[in-house]
C-alpha cells in the first residue's frame, strides 16, 4: 500500500515537471533573422544590378577613320642641256716647201663646238698635209693643252728631239703659228710654253717672245 502511494507521488511529480517544461517558450535560432535580412539585401542588390545592366547597354567604340595616303609629287623632268652643234669654218694654214725656204699658205676646213676647240683644230692643220710638196713644220710637236681667255691663247707643247729644226725652219715654224692664229680677229696674243715653262728659244736658234703679238711678230 505504501509502495503504491510512493509510485503514485513520483508519477504525479514527473507530470508536473513535464508539464512545466512544455509551457516554457522556445527561443528562435539566433542566426535565422540574420540569414533572412542578408538574403533580402542580396536580392535587392541583385535586382538593382540587373536593372542597371538592362537600362544601360554597353557603349560601342566610336568608328575611327583611316587617313588617306598623302599624294606623292613627281618632280618635273629637267631638260638636258642642249649639245652645241659643230660649226664648220674655212681658214688658212701654213706649210713650207721641201727646202724650207718659205711659207706656203693653204685653204683648209675645220669643225668645232667652242672657241678652244676651234683653236685646237686650227693648230692641228699645222701638223699634217695632204700635199707632198707642202711640209708641215709642227707635225712632230705634241700639243699638251690650249686655253683661250681675254684674247690670249696659252698653249703648252712638248718638243721631242726628232722635232728639232735648223734656224730657218724654227723661224718659219714660229711665223706659221703666228699667221695662222692671228687670222682670228679676237686673238690678241699667243704665249707658247714648253712643258709648262716659258723658254727663251723654241729650238735654240730664234728668240721666243712671251707673248707673241701682231706687233712684235711684224704682222
Domain holding 154, by residue range, is: 87-213
Q: Is residue 6 part of a domain?
A: no
> To the nearest 5 percent, what fractions of the chain are helix, strand and coil?
35, 20, 45
Q: Look at residue 75 and tell me if it is in a domain.
A: no
User: Is residue 140 one of the residues assigned to a domain?
Assistant: yes
Q: Is residue 208 within 8 Å of 202, Cβ to Cβ?
A: yes
- Do the domain assignments include residue 16? no
Q: Do 154 and 146 contact (CB within 8 A), yes or no? A: yes
40 occurs within a structural domain: no
Rounded to 5 degrees, what are φ and ψ at 35?
-65, -40
pLDDT-derived band of residue 5, with 50, 70 and 90 as boundaries? low
- Answer yes or no: pTM beyond 0.75: no
Identify whether the C-beta of residue 143 lies closer than 8 Å to the C-beta of residue 154.
no
Nearest in space to 206 (alpha carbons), one of 177, 172, 171, 169: 171
Does residue 29 fall inside a structural domain?
A: no
Over residues 124-147, the mean pLDDT reads 96
Residue 108: strand, helix, or coil: strand
34 in any annotated domain = no
User: Minimum mean pLDDT among 53-57, 94-98, 184-188: which range?
Assistant: 53-57
The answer, yes or no, to whether residue 132 has pLDDT greater than 70, is: yes
Q: How many domains does the chain have?
A: 1
Q: How far is the first Cα of the chain from the last one, in angstroms, to the nearest whole number?
A: 195
Using pLDDT thresholds of 50, 70 and 90, give the confidence band for residue 16: low
Which tens digits make up the pLDDT trace of 148-185?
Answer: 999 999 999 999 999 999 999 999 999 999 999 999 99
Whether 34 has a pLDDT exceeding 70, the answer reads: no
Q: Is 191 a domain residue?
A: yes
Amino acid at each position: 500500500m505504501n509502495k503504491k502511494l510512493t509510485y503514485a507521488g513520483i508519477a504525479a511529480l514527473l507530470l508536473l515537471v513535464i508539464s512545466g517544461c512544455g509551457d516554457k517558450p522556445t527561443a528562435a535560432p539566433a542566426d535565422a533573422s540574420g540569414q533572412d535580412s542578408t538574403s533580402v539585401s542580396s536580392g535587392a542588390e541583385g535586382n538593382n544590378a540587373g536593372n542597371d545592366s538592362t537600362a544601360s547597354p554597353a557603349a560601342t567604340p566610336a568608328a575611327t577613320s583611316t587617313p588617306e595616303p598623302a599624294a606623292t609629287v613627281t618632280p618635273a623632268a629637267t631638260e638636258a642641256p642642249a649639245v652645241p652643234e659643230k660649226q664648220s669654218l674655212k681658214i688658212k694654214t701654213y706649210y713650207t716647201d721641201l727646202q724650207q725656204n718659205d711659207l706656203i699658205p693653204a685653204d683648209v676646213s675645220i669643225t668645232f663646238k667652242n672657241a678652244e676647240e676651234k683653236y685646237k683644230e686650227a693648230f692641228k692643220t699645222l701638223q699634217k698635209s695632204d700635199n707632198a710638196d707642202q711640209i708641215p713644220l709642227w707635225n712632230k710637236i705634241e700639243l699638251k693643252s690650249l686655253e683661250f681667255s681675254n684674247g690670249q691663247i696659252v698653249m703648252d707643247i712638248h718638243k721631242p728631239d726628232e722635232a728639232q729644226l735648223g734656224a730657218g725652219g724654227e723661224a718659219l715654224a714660229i711665223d706659221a703659228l703666228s699667221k695662222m692664229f692671228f687670222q682670228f680677229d679676237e686673238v690678241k696674243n699667243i704665249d707658247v710654253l714648253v712643258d709648262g715653262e716659258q723658254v727663251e728659244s723654241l729650238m735654240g736658234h730664234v728668240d721666243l717672245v712671251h707673248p707673241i703679238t701682231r706687233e712684235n711678230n711684224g704682222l
